Chain A
Amino acid sequence: MLDAVVSGLRLVATLDLRLWEIVGLSLAVSLSAVAFATLIGLPVGAAIAVGRFPGRQAVVVMLNALMGLPPVVVGLFVYLLLSRAGPLGELGLLFTPPAMVIAQTILVLPIIAALARQAVEDSWREYEEQLRSLGVDGVRGALTVLWDIRFSLLTAVLAGLGRASAEVGAVMIVGGNIDGVTRVMTTTIALETSRGDLPLALGLGMVLIAIVLALNAAAQIIKDAAQRRYG
Chain B
Amino acid sequence: MSGILPLRLEGVSFAAGGRTIIEPLDLTLEAGASTIILGANGAGKSVLMRLMHGLLAPSTGRVAWRTEGPRRRQAMVFQRPVLLRRSALANVVYALDAAGVPVGQQARLAREALQEVGLAYAAGRPARVLSGGEQQRLALARAWALHPEVLFLDEPTANLDPGAAREIEAVIKAFDVAGTKIVMSTHNLGQARRLGDEVIFLHQGRVAERAPIEKFFPRPVSPEAAAFIKGELPWA
Does B bind A? Answer: yes
> A148 in the interface, Cβ–Cβ < 8 Å?
yes
Total interface residues in chain A, CB < 8 Å: 17
Query: By the criterion CB–CB under 8 Å, are A231 and B129 in contact?
Result: yes
Chain B, interface size: which category? Answer: 20 to 34
Query: By the criterion CB–CB under 8 Å, are B126 and A230 in contact?
Result: yes
Q: Residues on B close to A: CB < 8 A?
A: 50, 53, 55, 71-72, 75-76, 78, 81-82, 84-86, 94-95, 98-99, 126-129, 142
- What mask results when residues 148 to 176 of chain A are scored 1 for a CB within 8 Å of chain B, else 0? 11000000000000000000000000000
User: Which of A127, A131, A144, A231 meets B128, CB within 8 Å?
Assistant: A231
Query: By the criterion CB–CB under 8 Å, are A132 and B55 in contact?
Result: yes
Chain A interface SS verdict (over half): helix
Segment of A44-52, A97-105, A133-141 engaged in the interface with chain B: A133-141
28 contacts between A and B (CB under 8 A): A127-B82, A129-B55, A129-B78, A130-B78, A130-B81, A130-B82, A132-B55, A133-B53, A133-B55, A133-B78, A134-B94, A134-B95, A134-B98, A134-B142, A135-B71, A135-B99, A136-B98, A144-B84, A144-B94, A148-B86, A149-B85, A229-B126, A230-B86, A230-B126, A230-B128, A230-B129, A231-B126, A231-B127
> A126 in the interface, Cβ–Cβ < 8 Å?
yes
Chain A residues numbered 212-231 whose CB sits less than 8 Å from any CB in chain B: 229-231
Q: Residues on A close to B: CB < 8 A?
A: 126-127, 129-136, 140, 144, 148-149, 229-231
Closest to A133 in B: B76
Closest to A151 in B: B85
Closest to B82 in A: A130
A144 to B93, CA, bound (A): 13
Most buried by B among A126, A135, A140, A148: A135
Q: Which residues of B contact A148 (CB under 8 A)?
A: 84-86
A201 to chain B minimum Cβ distance, whole angstroms, is 44
A132 to B56, CA, bound (A): 11
Q: Which 5 A-B pairs have the closest CB atoms?
A: A231-B128, A130-B82, A230-B85, A231-B129, A133-B76
Q: Which residues of A contact B142 (CB under 8 A)?
A: 134
A127 to B85, CA, bound (A): 12
Q: Which residues of A contact B82 (CB under 8 A)?
A: 126-127, 129-131
Closest to A136 in B: B98
Q: Which residues of B contact A133 (CB under 8 A)?
A: 53, 55, 75-76, 78
Q: Which residues of B contact A231 (CB under 8 A)?
A: 85, 126-129
B214 to chain A minimum Cβ distance, whole angstroms, is 32
A129 to B78, CA, bound (A): 9
Q: Which residues of A contact B85 (CB under 8 A)?
A: 148-149, 230-231
A113 to B85, CA, bound (A): 22
Q: Which residues of A contact B98 (CB under 8 A)?
A: 134-136, 140
Most buried by A among B75, B78, B84: B84
Q: Which residues of B contact A136 (CB under 8 A)?
A: 98
Contacts A134-B94, A134-B99 supplied; 12 other A-B pairs, CB < 8 Å: A129-B50, A129-B82, A130-B82, A134-B142, A135-B72, A135-B99, A140-B98, A144-B94, A148-B84, A148-B86, A230-B126, A230-B128
